[in-house]
Structure 1
């Protein structure tokens, strides 16, 4: 009986040691595959490349892939059918979805309802879905709180990662009293705006 108890304790100890090692390996991961799905707010200034560059400064290697078209929503991408094939064909660690500001009810519903579809697909490859929170144009700056709320709610409802670029953007713009994160058209990001977006994205991905 004592021998059996001893063997049982040895097995438990061995399993715990292996589990701890596996967990440590996961937590110490230094290379990630990331898929960006979005529109011109993502491809302007080549945000994925800026993400890769900033990650290097953190000693992290990020490989990126991007599917982004002008004025596209996550619903448009889903209806095209390309994202389903792309996600299913490769094992990504993170899938980042982005659409317009989405401060209005239609945009909110799209973030939530289509986010559910992306979430189900990501689970099949054990990837984590991420919401890239953007910003409104200067003309509609007053809708910023709605942008923040709808992205925050959608991420929470779909148990996804929130990348609060818009929150950081608004905090800086309100405090500094300037609009240097905006490009000349008052909507697309300046290079500095995209660099800040890259920093927020990487910092929040590495927290996971």
Structure 2
């Protein structure tokens, strides 16, 4: 009888260890939530990020909530993103809106960003600011774009993803506008690929 009990204990222990290993594997998945507008969904930026992260041998799940012309305050008002953040399924929450070089855009980045920051902290997620770029016709506002995103990320203790800064350095150095698509605002495939590279570099390298 003792031998039978011992055998059952060994089997149950092995089963428990197996379940622990499975749970560990699930926990190792990285969750990234993208919240933005067409600058995010053009060329499916989340998938480009996913491909690069998985190329590093990491497991990642991405989800995108992006609508045309939306700012982060609009997403907050809709109420769709709060349950997603509160689900604790996402390690990183990447927020994105338009260039935001002017005072109203700056205010939204800071004040609405604080709402996201507080909710992320409550759910063990890291808030990230996806710094974008102005249209070619408004290229002179680029410094304002960079400053306002940089300030908002610092004020809300968030990770800055300086995609716009990388774009500006490339354009100023090469005089090449090929990161822009045909409309002079949305990204070309190359521009989105660079954005994905910058995001992965600042989150995982």
Give the shorter-chain TM-score range: 0.7 to 0.9
1:159 aligns with 2:157: yes
Distance in 2 between the 1:192 and 1:35 partners?
Answer: 22
1:48 maps to which of 46, 49, 53: 46
1:113 maps to which residue? 111
- 8 Å CA contact 1:91–1:125 kept in 2: the answer is no
1:206 maps to which residue? 204
Distance in 2 between the 1:94 and 1:113 partners?
Answer: 19
- 8 Å CA contact 1:135–1:166 kept in 2: the answer is yes
Unmatched 5+ stretches in structure 2: 1-23
2:99 maps to which residue? 101
SS of residue paired to 1:37: strand
Distance in 2 between the 1:97 and 1:155 partners?
Answer: 11
SS of residue paired to 1:60: coil
1:187 maps to which residue? 185
1:144 maps to which of 142, 156, 165: 142
* Structure 1 residues 75-121: Cα deviation after superposition (integer angstroms, max 9, x where no partner): 00001111112211242100000000000000000000011000111
Q: How does 1:3-42 map to 2 (within 5 A)?
A: 31-42=29-40
1:176 maps to which residue? 174
- 8 Å CA contact 1:30–1:59 kept in 2: the answer is no
Cα gap change, 1:90 to 1:126, in 2 (>3 Å): closer
Distance in 1 between the 2:80 and 2:54 partners?
Answer: 29
The offset of 1:55, in angstroms, is 1.3
Distance in 1 between the 2:43 and 2:159 partners?
Answer: 23
- 8 Å CA contact 2:29–2:60 kept in 1: the answer is yes
- 8 Å CA contact 2:99–2:145 kept in 1: the answer is yes
Number of aligned residue pairs: 180
TM-score using structure 2 length: 0.85
